[in-house]
Structure 1
Amino acid sequence: MKQKIIDNLFGLWKHIGEKGKILHVTDDYLFVRSKNNSWPSIVFELKNEEDMFKNLHHEIENQTLPNSISIFEDKALETALLENKFMLKSTVKGMYLNLIEKPKSNHDFDSIYKVDNEQRATEFARIASKSFGYEILDSTITPLINSSSLKLFIGKHNDHYVSCGMLLLDSDNISGIHMIGTTPEYRGLGLGKTMTHKLLLEAFENKSDMVVLVASEAGERIYSKLGFISDGSLKSFRIKDKVELQQS
């Protein structure tokens, strides 16, 4: 399942890039760059070409590429990046769930709303920015409203929109759960879990047999309780700054 997990995640970035006209394709990698380097600004689908890494470092240093590279469990790529003065920024786990083994929820989810207009797109961007601690622009979310393969949702609590989530149906008919978040002041109320179950219901509606996601260490523990199985890791790298270079 490792490749299926990463295909869905990279497919999400490509889809967002295509919809927002911010996807760039080169012979050696793809990258998405949103305004102000907001989410998702990332380099991915790298090829392991020997002469690529110095140029890649140079382009990031000159701010013509985002300072964030994602790879999925590739020792050769990881070694090449480290040898060329990149450093590991974060690691998340790939996870999957076989829906055939899960009962379909009969919950009505009346507090969760599909993002189907610009006002709700703005709310999604606001909630996600507060939830994840990095900037997500309205202009990134709005082009996704009428997507046939990507669904976005926001959840209410006490008449306030406070949770978000999205689901991508890929070409393998696998549903990927992404961007599940709750604003800090409303955490601990089970709102993220409710959003997850809503997205699982949408995966059933997609007639998907499999659901995939990537999760932090804390998220891995939560999703494991829902039956998700860990399989592989996604690693993110960035170039070192001048102080880090002097210390290395």
Structure 2
Amino acid sequence: MENLIVNNLFEFYKLVGTSSQFLNCTQQYCYVKAGNLSWPNIVFDLNEEQVNYQNLYDKIKANEISNKVFLLQNETIETQLLNHDFKLSSSIIGMYLDLDKATKPVNDFSTIYQVDNNTTATEFARIASKAFNYKILPSTIKPLVECQELKLFIGKHHDEYASCGMLLLDKRGISGLHMIGTLPKYRGFGLGKIMTNKLLFEAYENASQQAVLGASIAGERVYSKLGFIKQGDFKSYVV
């Protein structure tokens, strides 16, 4: 199951990078490096047998490639990164839900709107930037509207767009929940749960057998209540 989760995450980054034309892949790794110090900025899918860690370090120091290395927990790779002066910066928890063992949410999402034009894509970028506290450019989000594998949503609270989320149907038929966020001033109103249920509803509509996501420690408690099961840890290392 760990591989299903990591494959969905990597496919997500490749799709975002391809859509905005900043994906680069070598025999050693892939990376996406958006402009203006914005999201996404990440090295991923390391080839354990071929990666040259000193070269990777040097390229990051020279600002030639992205400054964050993201991977599924792997003692061999992590030891090499630490030996080459990388530092652990953050971690998330891989989680999955067997959809045939869960109840499909009721289709009652009057406050959720699909992102289908430049205006709503700009709103998505605004919400996500504030929710995750890093810059996400509208120019990165707008091309994603045309991706058939990906659905983007924003949610309202009263009269303001306040939440966001994406769902990726990957090549294996797994539905990945991504970029679930809420404006800080509207946290505590259950908007994240509403968005998560909307994405799960869409996962059922995809006829997926599993839904997967990466969760923070705080998010793990929320998703566990929805039936998600922890499966694997994902680490980020920086120079």
Fold match (TM-score > 0.5): yes
Residue matched to 2:181 = 181
Residue matched to 2:35 = 35
Residue matched to 1:245 = none
SS in 1 for 2:65: coil
Q: What is the Cα deviation at residue 37 of structure 1?
A: 2.5
Residue matched to 2:77 = 77
Residue matched to 2:148 = 148
SS in 2 for 1:35: coil
Residue matched to 1:98 = 98
State whether residues 162 and 182 of structure 1, in contact with CA within 8 Å, keep that contact through their aligned partners in structure 2: yes
State whether residues 73 and 232 of structure 1, in contact with CA within 8 Å, keep that contact through their aligned partners in structure 2: yes
Query: Take 1:153 and 1:105, find their aligned partners in 2: how far apart are those partners?
Result: 16
Query: Take 2:51 and 2:153, find their aligned partners in 1: how far apart are those partners?
Result: 43
| Mapping 1:1-248, distance limit 5 Å | 1-49=1-49, 52-239=52-239
Q: What is the Cα deviation at residue 65 of structure 1?
A: 1.0
Q: What is the Cα deviation at residue 106 of structure 1?
A: 1.9
Greater CA radius of gyration, 1 or 2?
A: 1
Residue matched to 1:246 = none
**Number of residues paired by the alignment?**
239
State whether residues 37 and 66 of structure 1, in contact with CA within 8 Å, keep that contact through their aligned partners in structure 2: no
Query: Take 1:213 and 1:81, find their aligned partners in 2: how far apart are those partners?
Result: 25
Superimposed CA distance per residue, residues 139-186 of structure 1 (whole angstroms, 9 cap, x where no aligned partner):
100000111100000001111001000000001100000110000011
State whether residues 28 and 50 of structure 2, in contact with CA within 8 Å, keep that contact through their aligned partners in structure 1: no
Superimposed CA distance per residue, residues 76-125 of structure 1 (whole angstroms, 9 cap, x where no aligned partner):
00000000000001111100000001122223201100000000000000
Unpaired stretches in structure 2, ≥5 consecutive residues: none
Q: What is the Cα deviation at residue 50 of structure 1?
A: 6.8
State whether residues 28 and 51 of structure 2, in contact with CA within 8 Å, keep that contact through their aligned partners in structure 1: no
* TM-score, normalised via structure 2 length: 0.98
Superimposed CA distance per residue, residues 167-220 of structure 1 (whole angstroms, 9 cap, x where no aligned partner):
000011000001100000111000000000000000011000100000011111
CA-based RMSD:
1.0
Letter of the 1:63 counterpart: N
State whether residues 166 and 199 of structure 1, in contact with CA within 8 Å, keep that contact through their aligned partners in structure 2: yes
Percent identity over the alignment is 52
SS in 1 for 2:146: coil
State whether residues 127 and 163 of structure 1, in contact with CA within 8 Å, keep that contact through their aligned partners in structure 2: yes
* TM-score, normalised via structure 1 length: 0.94
Query: Take 1:71 and 1:136, find their aligned partners in 2: how far apart are those partners?
Result: 22
Letter of the 2:38 counterpart: S
Query: Take 2:66 and 2:189, find their aligned partners in 1: how far apart are those partners?
Result: 35
Query: Take 1:198 and 1:156, find their aligned partners in 2: how far apart are those partners?
Result: 13
